[in-house]
Amino acid sequence: MPPRRPVIIGHHLILHGYGHWLPNDPRGSGSETLRNPSLDDLGKIHFGRKRVQPPREDVREFYRGAALRLRYLRLWFDGAKRQAIGDAIGEIVASRRYTLWACAVMKNHLHLCVRRHRDDAVEIWRAIANETRAALQACCNVSDDHPVWSDRPYKVFLTTQTDVLRVVRYIEQNPEKSGVPPQAWPFVKFYDGWPHAHRVQ
């Protein structure tokens, strides 16, 4: 008999701010193709994180060059924008009945640990991207045509309680590591390894 496929319990989703982690980022990326030819000469794509990371100044130099070739300015999420993003996530969580076990809104990206749902990982990613983009455009002087997020959904399937707990801890520790104030979003639910955590709502 073929081995049983592991049951997906949840997803680790990352939304990268537009222009903040490009396919040919010198640190490596989750991309295999480069859609913007104007970025071609800045470096080759390296799929996955490089084992040896480049100096910070090399990364800064890369993005100084990239900024001149991007169609839109890169956004940085200050306190007001982070709050708007968090409020919008709360609304989509309530309306679609998602369960979030962790959430960290950072200065240029967003981490989520989401329980498996009838919506697949990409649909959840897009629903949250659309809701948060609309919220920033409505309240934070973001133009209606600005994409806000990279259009490449990043997802990791979580199949064990250990996977979920590891990702939850990682997300919870992100703000402090990056100098962002602690976050306690009211829509985040405590993960206690429920036996029924794999059921689809």
In this structure, the answer to whether residues 114 and 39 fall within a common structural domain is no
52 and 79 co-located in one domain: no
pTM of the model: 0.85
Residue range(s) defining the domain that contains residue 132: 10-17+75-177
Question: Among residues 196, 183, 195, which one has the least CA distance to residue 82?
Answer: 183
Beta bridge mates, 122? none
Unique residue bearing structure tokens 């679609």: 96
% of the chain residues with pLDDT over 70: 94
Using one digit for the tens of pLDDT, what is the confidence trace for 12-45? 999 999 988 887 777 877 777 777 777 777 778 7
Residues 47 and 95 in one domain: no
Phi/psi zone of residue 147: left (φ > 0), alpha (ψ -120 to 50 degrees), beta? alpha
| DSSP codes, 96-110 | HT--EEEEEE-SSEE
Q: Answer whether residue 99 is part of any domain.
A: yes
- Running along the chain, 201 residues long, what does each successive block of 10 average in pLDDT? 80 94 78 74 78 86 84 93 97 97 96 96 97 94 93 91 95 92 94 56 44
